[in-house]
Amino acid sequence: MNKTKDSWKRVLITPDISIMSAIKRLSDEGMRILLVVDPEQHLIGVVTDGDIRRYILKQGNLELSVDQVMKKDPITASTLEDPEQLLIKMRNLKILHLPIVDDEKKVTGLETVESLSATNIRENWVIFMAGGMGKRLHPLTLDCPKPLLKVAGKPILEILLENFIKSGFKNFYFSVNYKAKMIQDYFGSGEKWGVTIRYIEEAEALGTAGALSLLPDMPEEPFFVVNADILTNMRFDYILDFHQNNPNKASATVCVRQYETMIPYGVVHINEQHQGLLEIEEKPTQISFVSAGIYVINPEVLDSLTFNSYCDMPALLLQLTKQDSYVATFPIREYWLDVGHHENLTQASDEYFEVFS
């Protein structure tokens, strides 16, 4: 976000810095782009938030220099183009940033869709799955639904709600079942937060996708489905932009988190042909991607659901892929924590002020 006229100067980097350093700079500045320049400030490439996330999905080496991921022939604009022209160009090209350069290709500024748009309010619905019984958190959830358990004095679901509001969202549905009245009494119609909150009431648990069949109306735009037991400081508008601008025209986008598992033994690799030993790998780390419980879904996907019938989100997404629909993945590099376990709830309370202050 352009906070001052010269904010763009803080996103200038040289091509020799590491990708890990670039990730930190992106997080610190929050503009979703870095401009790679030579010593004379000529533009030689750009690195976007999306470039980094795609590189993470490929499990690339983050210690390599940033020139491994930068776009070497970025789209630019001249200093003569007015803001209205720039906004039209960005929307037509489905890009979020335009470096401004002079006749010698020296960077003189940076414009973004966010800074040029009159408003950043998002009409897209956000649906929180808040109906679970929270059995893993017994006895805490015997008298309190999991979304109302507090982290640093504030309910988990309220933290999620406020983070979405900060990203410009105002239309919310809460899917409720277990101790639904407690959640409805706490959040009401959303007036306290200046937003609209409506409720999907499940007579019985319908899974993380089945509850969507109870929506009273069909959404007109892509919408979020979010588990109500996660804690993250990410910008949700980034995910929506990624989904809507995806060149493969995704039917859905699932957010994923890189998860490392260290095997505490020597792993034996065996030749498949003669069953002989190839090598012993001592205590290797396996890297996987896990679902982060955040999804963006196109309205037409709801046609795949049966009214008031059980369906989990993984089953719905797999059904889409079998129908040759494209389901995109969006890697989360920001803070993310599943607060569904006792130890994670304690961890969330310990880390809250450091992450969200």
**pLDDT band at 1; cut points 50, 70, 90:** very low
Q: What pTM was estimated for this model as a whole? A: 0.77
Overall CATH class of domain 122-356: alpha beta
CATH topology agreement for domains 7-116 and 122-356: no
Overall CATH class of domain 7-116: alpha beta
To the nearest whole percent, how much of the chain has pLDDT over 90? 63
pLDDT at site 72: 92
Give mean pLDDT, residues 264-269: 90
324 with 136: CB under 8 angstroms? no
Per residue in 97-147, pLDDT (tens digit) is 899 999 899 999 998 887 777 557 899 999 999 998 888 889 989 999 999
To the nearest whole percent, how much of the chain has pLDDT over 70? 97
Per residue in 25-81, pLDDT (tens digit) is 998 888 889 999 999 999 999 999 989 999 999 888 999 999 999 999 899 988 777
In the chain, domain spans: 7-116, 122-356
